[in-house]
Amino acid sequence: MSEWYCSVCHEILKGETKPGVCDICQADDRMIIKMEEVPKTLEQVRDAARTKLKGICAAYPSCDGNFDKICQREAYGKPIGLGGAGQGFSFRANAEALSRIQFNMSVLGDHFEPDTATRFLGIDLKFPVLSSSTAGAQKYNDALDETQFCISVLKGSKEAGTIGLRGDTWFYTREDHPSLNAMKACNGYGIPIFKPRSQDVLKKLIETAQEYGCKAVGVDLDGAGSTVMARQGMPVFKKSVKDIEELVRFTTLPFIAKGIMMPEEAQKCVDAGAAVIAVSNHGGRVLDSTPGVATVLPLIREKVGKSVLITADGGVRTGYDVLKMLALGADAVLLGRDIIRAAVGAGTLGVKLHLEHVHDTLKKAMFMTGTKNIKMVGSRILFNQN
Ligand SMILES: Cc1cc2nc3c(=O)[nH]c(=O)nc-3n(C[C@H](O)[C@H](O)[C@H](O)COP(=O)(O)O)c2cc1C
């Protein structure tokens, strides 16, 4: 009798042939792995993702939107896949902006073990890195079921000591919304970010999120420029400050305004009552030729002061990148494409392994910049930035 591993719930199943479904969590056979083939390293997870995402993403060592990479084909009319909008200038700008930031390397002082713990929206996290809201992985070579994808992200994030956001896309409906299905399956331990749909639809989705016990809700305001929604003819809308105020008043949960790139607009969202400003250009997927997030982040922090939580995402691949974003003004950092690849490669296990790798590199970065804990992170650790 062979043993099989469910990469969503970790159950070990027995059977001569591969089980069609996990007895415990009902994940289908795409999430079930022969025991001997269960990935032990992140590299093995990424190898599995590379195979499953053939033709869409090659899980390159550097995910930077360079034009010669297979994801960058939107410019020629193909679907966006995992790439950037247009010619991918915004996608590349995220990586380039981070690459320009350098650390002051500090070697003198007492030996210490960096403490990465933090609190975010009242939740204790092992480190200030969250899985970002993403959606639509099911459409990539039918590699996995969308709800299983969402559950993998939420469970893997929790097991790594942090929390996951989940997204929204054209085939999510109120009746069958994989992000909300996963929130329910994970007892609400997650944060749904909805597309800027009509106010009425948003209120219904927010109500369900509240009912499931989610920790916060949000809208990716930049999703108004989603090329995926446009391709499928699904309506998304620009939101006014009044609309945001209305949603903030409607919900009892903290509200996240995601996709903010301008200091004035960040301030307007703060004034409208948002608890978190998510500085993001959607991984370069909604407007080509924006600055990189690391470029605008300090300007936004300067404008809004300490009054509000800020997250940053875009091109963050390692704990070194995380520390840069924190030093530039973020309270927490979100990971997009890397978490998709991790979940496609090995479900919950893949997400956990990926986040653990980022945690390890964050600790290294903190150690070598003389940063004992998250409260000590500041621009003094950056070369020529203070
Ligand atoms: C395939 C894909 C799907 C995404 N879907 C969503 C979504 O549904 N909602 C959302 O707020 N952001 C979405 N994003 C943006 C991410 O939340 C995040 O802002 C971005 O991926 C961060 O950049 P990175 O991928 O370089 O880490 C998506 C990004 C990708 C690559």
The amino acid at 266: A
CB-based contact 72:66 (threshold 8 Å)? yes
16 CA → ligand 1 middle, Å? 39
Amino acid 114: pLDDT: 98
Phi then psi for residue 347, to 5 deg, are: 50, -140
- Mean pLDDT in the chain? 97
Sign of CA dihedral 265, 88, 48, 194: positive
Using CA positions, which residue lies closest to atom 8 of ligand 1?
167
Is 335 close to ligand 1, i.e. is its CB under 6 Å away?
A: yes
Is 94 close to ligand 1, i.e. is its CB under 6 Å away?
A: yes
* pLDDT tens digits for range 156-175: 999 999 999 999 999 999 99
Using CA positions, which residue lies closest to atom 14 of ligand 1?
134
* pLDDT tens digits for range 210-269: 999 999 999 999 999 998 998 899 999 999 999 999 999 999 999 999 999 999 999 999
State which ligand 1 atom lies nearest to the alpha carbon of 222: 11
Which segments within 7-86 are labelled E, that is strand?
12-15, 32-34
pLDDT band at 386 (very low <50, low <70, confident <90, very high): low
Q: DSSP assignment, residue 104? A: P
Total-model pTM? 0.98
Amino acid 230: pLDDT: 87
CB-based contact 354:340 (threshold 8 Å)? no
Is 377 close to ligand 1, i.e. is its CB under 6 Å away?
A: no
CB-based contact 71:57 (threshold 8 Å)? yes
Longest Cα pair distance anywhere in the chain, in angstroms?
63
Domains of the chain: 1-38 (2.20.28), 118-381 (3.20.20.70)
366: left (phi over 0), alpha (psi -120 to 50) or beta: alpha
Give the contacts of 210 (CB within 8 A, at least 6 positions apart).
217, 251, 252, 253
CB-based contact 202:247 (threshold 8 Å)? yes
Is 218 close to ligand 1, i.e. is its CB under 6 Å away?
A: no
Using CA positions, which residue lies closest to atom 13 of ligand 1?
134
